[in-house]
């Protein structure tokens, strides 16, 4: 079956532009996570959704970052007024059950954002 998909795969933005990154999780997966991976680093947690509810946004680096999952399936990560330090790969992962249960996370290919 289809895995987690993300679009676009690559995005180049000028500093100050707004960007929107999309994640299509595996169908039926309850949990959805966003991670940010800077060059040479491991992924870092940004935010977590259980269905449409955003239960944890403690990893969002600033109020320029906003995520939503209005119908409990597709999710969008929006970054307003992009800065050069936002350049990274943004990973989406989904999991079949509620977080806290013994579930594996399935990762998408990521969106590589470059801010000039």
Partner 1 sequence: AQSVSQHNHHVILSEAASLELGCNYSYGGTVNLFWYVQYPGQHLQLLLKYFSGDPLVKGIKGFEAEFIKSKFSFNLRKPSVQWSDTAEYFCAVNARVSWGKLQFGAGTQVVVTP
Site residues (vs partner 1, CB under 8 A): 3-4, 31, 33, 35, 40-45, 48, 50, 55-56, 59, 91, 93, 95, 98-110
Least separation, in Å, of the C-beta of 16 and partner 1?
30
Q: Which is nearer to partner 1, 57 or 80 (CB)?
A: 57
Distance CA 111, CA 84 (A): 16
CA atoms within 13 A on the CB side of 53: 5
The tokens of 61 are what?
A: 């680096």
CA-closest candidate to residue 93, choices 80, 82, 103: 103
Least separation, in Å, of the C-beta of 63 and partner 1?
20
Q: Which is nearer to partner 1, 82 or 95 (CB)?
A: 95
Residues 44, 33 contacting (CB under 8 angstroms)? no
Least separation, in Å, of the C-beta of 56 and partner 1?
5
């Amino acid at each position: 079956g289809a895995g987690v998909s993300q679009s676009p795969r690559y995005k180049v933005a000028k500093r100050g532009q707004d960007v929107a990154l999309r994640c299509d999780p595996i169908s039926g997966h309850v949990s959805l996570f966003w991670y940010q991976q800077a060059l040479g680093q491991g992924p870092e947690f940004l935010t977590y959704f259980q269905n449409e509810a955003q239960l944890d946004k403690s990893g969002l680096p600033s109020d320029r970052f906003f995520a939503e999952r209005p119908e409990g399936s597709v999710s969008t990560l929006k970054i307003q007024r992009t800065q050069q330090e936002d350049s990274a790969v943004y990973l989406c992962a989904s999991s079949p059950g509620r977080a806290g249960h013994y579930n594996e996370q399935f990762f998408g290919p990521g969106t590589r954002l470059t801010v000039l």
